[in-house]
Structure 1
Amino acid sequence: MSTQLADEPCEACTSEDEPLTAAEYGEYFAELDDAVWAVVEEHHLEGTYAFDDFRDALEFTYEIGELAEEEWHHPDIHLAWGEVRVEMWTHKIDGLHKTDFVMAARMDRIHDEYAPDSS
Structure 2
Amino acid sequence: MAETQLADRECTACTGDEDPLEGEELIPLFEDLDRDVWEIVDEHHLKATYEFEDFRDALEFTKEVGELAEAEFHHPDIHLSWGEVVIELWTHKIDGLRETDFVMAARMDRFYEGYE
TM-score if structure 2 supplies the norm length?
Answer: 0.95
Q: Distance in 2 between matches of 1:113 and 1:9?
A: 22
Letter in 1 for 2:100: T
Output the aligned Cα RMSD: 0.9
1: distance between equivalents of 2:51 and 2:23?
Answer: 27
Aligned positions, number:
113
1:38 aligned partner, one-letter code: E
Separation in 2 of the partners of 1:22 and 1:113? 32
**Which segment is superposed worse, 88-97 or 3-12?**
3-12
Residues of 1 paired with 2:83 and 2:96: CA distance? 29
**1:113, distance to aligned residue in structure 2 (A):** 1.0
- Aligned counterparts of 1:95 and 1:110: Cα–Cα separation in 2: 24
Partner of 1:61: 62
Q: Give the unaligned 5+ runs of structure 1.
A: none
Partners of 2:77 and 2:59 in 1: CA distance = 14
Aligned to 1:85: 86
| Structure 2 residues not aligned, in runs of 5+ | none
Q: Deviations over 1:17-72 (max 9, x none)?
A: 00001211210000000000000011000000000000000000000000000000
Q: CA deviation at 1:15?
A: 1.3
Q: Deviations over 1:70-92 (max 9, x none)?
A: 00000000000000000000000
CA distance in 2, matches of 1:49, 1:22: 25
Q: Equivalents in 2 of 1:73, 1:59: separation in Å? A: 19
Cross-structure match for 1:42:
43
Q: Which residue does 1:28 correspond to in 2? A: 29
Q: Give the Cα separation in 1 of the matches to 2:89 and 2:36.
A: 16
Counterpart residue identity of residue 39, structure 2: A
Q: Which runs of 4+ in 1 moved over 6 A?
A: none
